[in-house]
Structures are given as structure tokens and as C-alpha cells.
Amino acid sequence: MKVSGRVERMKESATLAVAARAAAMRKDGIDVVSFGTGEPDFDTPANIKDAAARALAAGMTKYVATPGTPEAREAIASKLRRENGIDCTAAHVAITAGAKHALYLALQALVDPGDEVVLPTPAWVSYRPLIELAGGRCVEVPGAMEHGFKVTPAQLEAAIGPRTVAVILNSPSNPSGIAYSEAEMRALCEVIARHPQVTVVSDEIYEKLTYPELSPGLRHFSPGSIPALAGRTVTLNGMSKAFAMTGWRIGYVCAPADGGRFLQELVKLQAQMTNNIPSFFMPAIVEALSDRSAPQVESMRRAFAGRARVVAELLAGIPRMSTVAPTGAFYAFPSIAACSGLRTPAGRSITDGHSYAEALLAEAHVAVVPGGDFGECAADHVRITFACDESQLREGLARIARFTAALA
Ligand SMILES: Cc1ncc(COP(=O)(O)O)c(C=O)c1O
């Protein structure tokens, strides 16, 4: 049967592919340590589950407005005003099927064929395919590992041209686990402010997973709070990561531009695609964003911060690997460039992150994601997700250390 060129050209998600292979090996009885998917190992807090269960039992099973109920949209707008300093109302917010769908809708609403979207890399695997699906050209700006995987204002300035319609910013970052400081983010935003045709797409899905205990003074900063950019920032966020709600598929997009006109256009597309996300999730969103959930979110954050410290310490002790210590999200992104040209005891040759990850899974039964899909600059890296308990973390990293040491 025919497949459209548009879809055929699209890459499959590298992270989901690794998870599928690890799951298949587990099914065959192999003890695999999975550092693949970016998914918290915690369960959703009980008060959030109860809110959805109550709404379901009460018969909240019908369509609601495409972008969500007024109560849920207001809960999000109020959180964005209070915590992020973004001047917005419920009318500027749409609730989507995950932040991934929010990104899809935002790019479809923003990008025309031939437009350019600037993407600091290493960056999450879905940005490039979704930019290209919208007909855009992805302009990568590599954040050097020596510079903490961060792009500089000068690099950003050089990448913005007359065809640039958007810059995607993602802090804390998947896959590098780094977070820009407020000063660094403001410096990038100053560059963007000088180009009035450019929209900021700020993916803040990991905002609550920021670790000042590992980087004193670090706190999340939202570009949409800068007055010069407020009218041209699209903020993406969701419940998946900080609230341990990946399977629920709840994301949101906030765009105060032109009194909400951009948002209305985006919702037009959403209405033709998915319409509202499950209606009985709406009270769960209100519950998640209430003070009642804050202690549990904080306790998960602290656990991730502890694991970030463990990963950084253990990776630092592995010869032939170099990395930047994570200060946000739940990823580390070591370089395995020093392993290139070596062979495993079983005879596999290591040429890049892809061959390293393949051999590691086959011989040491540890699943990591090859770096190449996170950016052209990242082929010699692998991504390690530390969203698992500490004993798994220690076991997986011990296997990685043995595997890497045995290369010759
Ligand atoms: C940077 C980033 N943005 C967005 C998402 C999408 O999250 P979700 O669609 O689960 O809300 C992810 C998930 O891995 C991510 O890492």
C-alpha cells in the first residue's frame, strides 16, 4: 500500500525504538537494565489519580471544549502567572495530548514551507522531524560539550537569518541534562528580541526538575516572562515528567500573542485532529497544579537530584567516557569518542554512539540511546536516563564501566 513521502521520510523515534528492543529482550528472560525512555519510575500521586477517578465515576465522559475546560485552563494560566511570570489568561492556553502534541500543533501553526527553525543541539529527537513535517528547515546550533552543551548568544545570532521564524529553547534539556541559568537564558533572549520576526518556542517540560543542590542558585526561568518577548513566545509544558504522568498524555501550550489569535488558530487545527483530551482528566489537571500535589512533586524532584549526583560521580570514574554533570531533567549525555576504533571482546567494532549502544545492549544488557538522533554534533554520545531506582542505576553503570574497560 502507498505510504506518503512525508511520512516515509520521517525517522522513527530513537528512544521508543530502544525501549521496544529492551522490552523484547526482557520478554526473552534477559536481565536488561534500561536507561532508555525518559519516564519517571514513580507512580502518579494518589490525589491526582483520585480526582480523575471521581470525575469518571461522576459521568464526566462527554466532549468538552477542544482546548479543555475553563477550570483546567485557568489552573494552568494561574500557574504560569504565579510560577513563571507569564502574563496570560485561560484564553491563551490549550490542553493537548502531551507536550509532544503541543509542539506539533505549535509548529504546524507557525511554520510555512521554506521557513527556518533554529534548534540548539543536542536536542530532543522529535524537534527535527516535526519541524520538517511542517515543511520547515531545521538549523542546528551545536552546544559544545566543553561549553556545557550550551549555545552562546554569538552562535544564536549567527544562526538567525531572514527566513528564521522560530527558535526552540529547551531548559532543562533532553538529552544533555543541563539547565541554562537565568542570566544565560536572558542573554539568548536578548539576541532573539533583536529579530522581531522570530517566535520563541520554549519547551519547559522539565522546569520542575532543576537541581540547585547541584548548581547553587540555579532556578528555572521562562522566556515568556520577558516583556519584549511576551507577545511572541509559545510556552510548552505538561504533566508527564514532574508529575509522573507520562501515560496520561497531558500537555499544554500557552501563547498570549495578539490577544490569543495565534492560540485560536492552533486550536482550529486541534479541533480537526483530536479535539479535547479525555474530559475526566480535566479535574486531575486542576488537582495536579494545586498545593496538595506540591510535596510529592518535590519529593520526586529530590530523588532525581540525588540520582543525578550518583550518575555524575559514577560516570566521572569511567575511563574513556567524558560528560557534563547533569543539573536538570533526568539525563546524562556522555561522549564515548575515546572508544571509537576499539573492539568489544565479542568482536563488535565501535565507531560511534550507535555502534556503542548496539554492542552495549547485546553484550552487557544495558539499554542507552545513541546520540546521533539528538543532533549532528552528538554522534559520539549516548544518552543515559536516570529515571530508575538507585540500585538499577548502580548496576547499569557498573556494567557500562566493565564493558567500556574491556574494549581493546
Ligand atoms: C524535551 C521534551 N519535550 C517534550 C516531551 C514530550 O512529553 P509528553 O508528550 O509526554 O508531554 C519530551 C518527552 O520525552 C521531552 O523530552
pLDDT digits (tens, 9 = 90+) for 203-244: 999 999 999 999 999 999 999 999 999 999 999 999 999 999
- Find out whether the beta carbon of 207 lies less than 6 Å from any atom of ligand 1: no
- Over residues 22-44, mean pLDDT: 92
What's the pLDDT band for 147 if we cut at 50, 70, 90? very high
- Over residues 85-106, mean pLDDT: 98
Would residue 281 count as lying in a domain? yes
Would residue 152 count as lying in a domain? yes
> Are 69 and 25 found together in one domain?
no
CB 328 within 8 A of CB 173: yes
What's the pLDDT band for 10 if we cut at 50, 70, 90? confident
Check whether 21 has a pLDDT greater than 90: no
Strands, E, within 195-290: which ranges? Answer: 199-203, 233-238, 251-254
- Find out whether the beta carbon of 184 lies less than 6 Å from any atom of ligand 1: no
- Over residues 32-39, mean pLDDT: 90
Å from CA of 99 to ligand 1 middle: 6
> Are 346 and 389 found together in one domain?
yes
Residue 34 is classified by DSSP as E
Out of 168, 171, 205, mutate this one to test ligand 1's pocket (max ligand atoms within 8 Å of CB): namely 205
> Are 93 and 238 found together in one domain?
yes
Parallel/antiparallel/unpaired status of strands 233-238 and 199-203:
parallel
The gap between the terminal CA atoms of the chain, to the nearest Å, is 47
CATH number, domain with residue 307: 3.90.1150.10
> Are 260 and 359 found together in one domain?
no
> Are 146 and 271 found together in one domain?
yes
Would residue 56 count as lying in a domain? no
> Per residue in 236-263, is it b (16+ CB within 10 Å) or e — as a string?
bbbbbbbbbbbebbbbbbbbbbeebebb
CB proximity list for 97: less than 8 A, separation 6 or greater = 249, 250, 251, 274, 277
- Find out whether the beta carbon of 172 lies less than 6 Å from any atom of ligand 1: no
- Find out whether the beta carbon of 99 lies less than 6 Å from any atom of ligand 1: yes
Count of domains forming the chain = 2
Check whether 16 has a pLDDT greater than 90: no
Of 266, 291, 316, which residue sits at a domain end?
291
Check whether 14 has a pLDDT greater than 80: no
> Are 363 and 284 found together in one domain?
no
Looking at the chain, the whole-number percentage of residues with pLDDT higher than 90 is 93
Please report the atom of ligand 1 found closest to the CA of residue 173. 1
CB 117 within 8 A of CB 165: yes
> Are 33 and 155 found together in one domain?
no
> Are 67 and 24 found together in one domain?
no
> Are 228 and 368 found together in one domain?
no
**3-class DSSP assignment, residue 367:** strand
Would residue 204 count as lying in a domain? yes
> Are 197 and 344 found together in one domain?
no
> Are 74 and 134 found together in one domain?
yes
- Residue 268 sits in which domain range? 62-291
- Over residues 161-184, mean pLDDT: 98
Of 268, 291, 314, which residue sits at a domain end?
291
Of 291, 316, 347, which residue sits at a domain end?
291
Q: Whose CA is nearest to atom 14 of ligand 1?
A: 38
Residue 212 is classified by DSSP as T
> Are 379 and 348 found together in one domain?
yes
CATH number, domain with residue 253: 3.40.640.10
Would residue 114 count as lying in a domain? yes
